[in-house]
Structure 1
Amino acid sequence: MSEIQDYPSRLSDPASRKFGTFSYLPPMTPEEIRAQVAYIVARGWNPAIEHSEPEHATGHYWYMWKLPMFGETDVDAILAECDTCRRANPGHHVRLVGYDNVKQSKGAEMVVFRAGTE
């Protein structure tokens, strides 16, 4: 049996914290993030952008950046809005959510900018 990898995440170390499935993988490249945004759009999900201070990012509540982008299908516009949120909130994590309006839940959620990694 192979060795199971440990992910040392500590409340005292905000840089070590994990935020969903993708955070356990190596950081996504811009091309990989673009592919995930394209997937959200292809599924017909509504993108929304949220942000939070690293010390509060483990909570359930993140600040919503504007309103969800209902019906937006332009991947470049969504990525540009993520970048605008990052520039307006330096030092915050920024995540993208894809809301599934049929199931009335989140279909996707990923941190697209992690504070302190630029």
Structure 2
Amino acid sequence: MSEIQDYKSKLSDPSSRKFETFSYLPEFSEEEIRNQVKYIIDQGWQPAIEHTEPENAMDQFWYMWKLPMFGETDVEAVLAEAKKCHEEHPEHHVKLIGYDWKRQTQGLAMVIYRGPQD
């Protein structure tokens, strides 16, 4: 059995913090993010965008960017809203969420824009 890697995350080191499963992978390209949005839509989940200040990213509450995009099937429309949120709040982390309405939970959540890391 291979040795399990320990990720040395610390509250005192903002650049070491991890957010959800995807943050342990290398940063996603625009095409890989586009594929995740397509996956959300293909699952019938509701896309949504949230944002928060980097110092508050470990809290459970993030600010909702508008309402979830109920019934949205256009990948580019979802990406455009995420970009607008990032442009409006360039100092914030921006998260893409796919709400699974059948299970009443998040089916996917990933930070797609990171605010400055001090």
Instruction: Tell me the amino acid that sits aligned with residue 82 of structure 1.
Output: A
How many pairs are equivalent? 117
Q: Deviations over 1:79-108 (max 9, x none)?
A: 010000000001100001101111111111
CA RMSD of aligned residues (A): 1.1
Match of 2:65 in 1: 65
Residue 33 of structure 2 corresponds to residue 33 of structure 1: yes
Q: Distance in 2 between matches of 1:76 and 1:94?
A: 16
Q: Distance in 1 between matches of 2:111 and 2:83?
A: 12
Cα displacement (A) at 1:5: 1.7
Could you tell me the percent identity over the aligned residues? 62
Q: Unpaired runs of 5+ in structure 1?
A: none
Q: Unpaired runs of 5+ in structure 2?
A: none
The ranges of structure 1 where at least 4 consecutive aligned residues each deviate by more than 2 angstroms after the TM superposition are 1-4
Q: Distance in 2 between matches of 1:6 and 1:99?
A: 30
Q: Deviations over 1:9-65 (max 9, x none)?
A: 110111211000000111111111000000000001000100011110001000000
Match of 1:52 in 2: 52
Alignment TM-score, normalising by the size of structure 2:
0.95
Q: Distance in 1 between matches of 2:9 and 2:91?
A: 19
Give SS of 2:91's match: coil
